[in-house]
Structure 1
Amino acid sequence: MKVSLIQMDMKFASPDENFAHAEELIRQAAQSHPDVITLPETWNVGFFPKENLAELSDKDGARVKETFSRLASELNVNIVAGSVSNVRDGKIYNTAFVFDRKGTCVAEYDKTHLFSPSGEHEYFQSGDHTVRFELDGVPCGLIICYDVRFPELIRTITVQGIDVLFVVAQWPSLRRFHWQALNQARAIENQCFVACTNSCGTAGETKNAGYSAVYDPWGELVGGCGPNEMILTTDMDLNIIKGIRSSINVYRDRQPGLYQVN
């Protein structure tokens, strides 16, 4: 599976400019003929404007669905359209959308773990479900930013059987080491590829780290970015997964009867 990660530098609280820039970058990435193109977290507004947030947000994902359904179908590519600030039923969610090559929205996921140190929980509603989907027959999962610090959430997805975990984020430069270490660890412990797409540039007062990357199930870096806006295109050799899981079968050797995480 060939994937293009768009490490986007978005304009804070400027959805019109960000939609135009995202489409421009999607079209640029598509020239490399990837199977999947990804975007980062809340790229429509940045993370996150506290003034007029509802007015700046998408409305039930309508604009995202119109834009990326059209692009996915036109370009014949799967799109993990990052996440957007999204109003639904009068509440604001941090929602990720995934589109297949036909332009069908095959997955929606609301960020489960809201980043309380920045007050995200005071503005956004927490999600109540995990998500698993297939792209070109490959089983995949998706999480958003702070979710990566909660291995019990990710294991809940991976025991259902996935080969690729997509992580979309606006992770700050201050904790770049955590970003790299946590994504690498999730790849190793769950024996899957992790394609983690971060933003870059400055959102409000926060400088985002960049350093989007793809890790294989051994934890090896398949491809990575620096701190600036760029598109990373790399191949994930999914054929190695079977050998890794048969040689060190952590799923077979789990003892879920002993685990108490409540």
Structure 2
Amino acid sequence: MKISVIQLPVFMGNRQHNLQQMENMLAKAVTSKPDVVVLPELWNTGFYPKPIKKFADLDGDGIKKTMSSLAAKYMVNIVAGSVPVNRNGDVYNTSYIFNRSGELTAAYDKVHLFSPAGENRDFTAGNKITVFTLDGVKCGMAICYDVRFPEYIRKIALEGINVLFLPAAWPIERVMHWDTLTRARAIENQLFVVAANGISDPDEGDFHLGGHSAIIDPWGEILAQGSSDNLAGEIIEAKLRLGIQAQIRATIDVFQDRKKELY
């Protein structure tokens, strides 16, 4: 499975600009014929303009139509990062996943909302994990702050996934945490982690997205990584050798050796 991660340059509150940038970079990404293209968290708005409800897509209809059309046009699976979605008056931080035919395969509402930034006051939290299949490969979803909860990522891993997709809007100030946590989740769960962060100009507001998107294998090896200073954005790519997951788990079988009676 070949993965392309679009490390999008995100402009706060400028949905039209962000959408155009995404479409331009997606058109470039598909020239290398990836199986899956991945976008960052809140790529269309930034993290995040207020009041967020003003920027939220009603029932996700607009974004679903756009991303479905693009997935079908390029015949590529798209993990469409996340966007703010207004459902019945509540705003969710929602990820949509589309297959090569443009069909909506799955959706995920971010479970752990980043309370230090007040996300828990402006968004409604999701309450379930999301597992889906792309091209026969079992995948799971988490968003940004979710990665700080290893018990939650382990719960997803126990569903037997091969790949965890992790869109984020992670700040440059804590990019070391991002690098460490994404590798740790890959190593301890012996799965591939595809972590897609945005990038932003430090002169464009107080929240500076730190880049460092990464594609990580089950040994914790970084197969591809974005920079933290390319404000034009970039595309990182890697091919996942899915067969190594079984080899690694046969070598160090942490799932068999778990003490389920204790934790």
Shorter-chain TM band: over 0.9
For 1:2 and 1:209, how far apart are their aligned partners in 2?
24
Equivalent residue number for residue 216 of structure 2: 215
Moved over 2 A (4+): none
Equivalent residue number for residue 85 of structure 1: 84
For 2:103 and 2:40, how far apart are their aligned partners in 1?
20
For 2:167 and 2:210, how far apart are their aligned partners in 1?
13
- 1:157 aligned partner, one-letter code: I
> Once the two structures are superposed, what CA deviation does each residue of 1:55-79 show, in whole Å capped at 9, x if it has no partner?
2111111111101111111101000
Q: Is the 8 A contact 1:44 1:57 kept in 2?
A: no
Equivalent residue number for residue 230 of structure 1: 234
If the length of structure 2 is used for normalisation, what is the TM-score?
0.96
Q: RMSD in angstroms over aligned alpha carbons?
A: 0.9
In the TM superposition, 1:86-101 aligns within 5 A as 86-101=85-100
Q: Which residue, out of 247, 252, 256, partners 1:248?
A: 252
Q: Is the 8 A contact 1:49 1:204 kept in 2?
A: no
Q: Is the 8 A contact 1:163 1:238 kept in 2?
A: yes
Bigger shift: residues 127-136 or 19-28 = 19-28
For 2:29 and 2:144, how far apart are their aligned partners in 1?
22
The answer for unaligned runs of 5 or more in structure 1 is: none
> Once the two structures are superposed, what CA deviation does each residue of 1:121-167 show, in whole Å capped at 9, x if it has no partner?
11000111110000000000010000000011111111110000010
- 2:77 aligned partner, one-letter code: N
In the TM superposition, 1:18-167 aligns within 5 A as 18-51=18-51, 53-167=52-166
- 2:68 aligned partner, one-letter code: S
Equivalent residue number for residue 199 of structure 1: 198
Aligned residues: 258
DSSP-derived class of the 1:206 partner: coil
Equivalent residue number for residue 11 of structure 2: 11
Q: CA deviation at 1:207?
A: 0.7
Q: CA deviation at 1:23?
A: 1.4
If the length of structure 1 is used for normalisation, what is the TM-score?
0.96
For 2:31 and 2:226, how far apart are their aligned partners in 1?
19
